[in-house]
Every structure is written in structure tokens, then in C-alpha cells.
Amino acid sequence: MSDQPTSRPLAAFTRRTTAIAHLTRLAVLIKDRGLEAEVKPGSRVPHLAVTNPGARQLRETIYAGPGLAGVWRFWWSWHEPIGTVDDDRDVAGRIAHVLSFTEQRR
């Protein structure tokens, strides 16, 4: 019996570590925009928990993974793509926009 891992567990490990790396990079960009961002690598599916500290009810879970064509993307919790991992600055801006609020004056 070989001590070498099979390709399936190795592929899952590679996908997981790749997702964590992309989410970690995105977390830095999101924090630069004044939001809280924490990578949750130990969960069943690694994700990024993002919260607006000025309105804690505004929060979102972000995932990273390949789409059908194999292109890595960031995904909203409702499985809608936000953008590719190569466009991480634009993705961070979109997330910040969605989690922003405008106070209405009366």
C-alpha cells in the first residue's frame, strides 16, 4: 500500500488552499475600505465573513471557487458570481458598495 495521497484528496486540498489564499487577499482589500473581514478556513467550505461595523446587520458571506469553465471567481452567498479573482480590487469595491448604507435626512 502506498503512502502517496490519491489525486482526489490532493485536488480537494489544493482547491481549499487556493480558495483560502484568494479570500485572504480579498480580506485585506475589504478591510482597506473600512469593513470587517475574517477568513473562516476551518468551516466546511472556506469563506470570508464581511460585516459593516457601522451597521452590523449588513453582512455577507463570500466564497471563492472555480466556475464551470474553471475560472476562479468570488461568489455571493446566493451563488451569484461577483467577479474573477484577478479583479479582486473591483470585487472588494462591489462588496463594500452592497454593504454600505446611506443615512436619510428628514
What pTM was estimated for this model as a whole? Answer: 0.85
Comparing CA positions, the residue from 94, 92, 101 lying closest to residue 31 is 92
Please write the tens of the pLDDT for every residue from 21-43.
999 999 999 999 999 999 999 87
What is the torsion angle, in degrees rounded to the nearest 10, for the CA atoms of residue 61, residue 64, residue 66 and residue 72?
130
Residue 96 near residue 30, CB atoms below 8 Å: yes
For the segment 71-100, the average pLDDT, to the nearest whole number, is: 96
Three-state DSSP state, 17: helix
Q: Is 2's pLDDT higher than 70?
A: no
What type of residue is 54?
G
pLDDT at 46: 96
